[in-house]
């Protein structure tokens, strides 16, 4: 996926948000050891800097105690929805063991737009000790 490339709306949410871009199914990502990130947590603040994130961007993900935080050169962007309770559990569909890395690179595959402005992102996280394939 090329940075800045126009992508079609994948779906429109009832609140008017548009999800743009495409991403592999969660089952495939967990099996590959690259867990999906399905947006930032609403329980934590999301930086206004999220509006500058584009499909194809990469962010750094670091675990801090019980949360994972995504940042770029401009600073922290938001807190992932991941929870420590998920780490090590079997995926409900595939039975693959879910591994959430302490550090990794978040590859942005989808953005959530409201009135043309990015308000959230989705993608997958490559742990620092795994190289992406494909």
pLDDT tens-digit readout, 109-133: 999 998 889 999 999 999 997 555 5
Task: Compute the distance between CA of residue 100 and CA of residue 97 in angstroms, rounded to an integer.
Answer: 10
pLDDT tens, residue by residue, 91-102: 888 898 999 999
The average pLDDT across 74-101 equals 93
Closest-CA residue to 52 (of 133, 126, 118, 113): 118
Question: Is the pTM for the entire model greater than 0.75?
Answer: yes
Q: Evaluate if residue 4 carries a pLDDT over 70.
A: no
Q: How many residues does the chain have?
A: 134
State the pLDDT confidence band at 8, using cuts at 50, 70 and 90.
low
For residue 70, CA distances in Å to 3, 85, 100 come to 19, 19, 14
């Amino acid at each position: 996926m090329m940075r800045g490339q126009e992508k079609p709306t994948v779906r429109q949410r009832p609140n008017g948000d548009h999800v743009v871009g495409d991403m592999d199914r969660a089952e495939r990502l967990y099996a590959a050891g690259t867990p999906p990130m399905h947006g930032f947590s609403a329980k934590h603040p999301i930086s206004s800097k999220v509006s500058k994130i584009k499909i194809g961007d990469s962010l750094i993900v670091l675990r801090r105690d019980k949360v994972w935080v995504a940042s770029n050169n401009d600073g922290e962007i938001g807190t992932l929805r991941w929870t420590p309770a998920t780490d090590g559990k079997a995926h409900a569909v595939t039975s693959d063991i879910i591994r959430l890395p302490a550090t990794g690179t978040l590859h942005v595959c989808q953005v959530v737009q409201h009135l043309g402005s990015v308000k959230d992102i989705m993608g997958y996280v490559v742990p620092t000790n795994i190289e992406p394939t494909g």
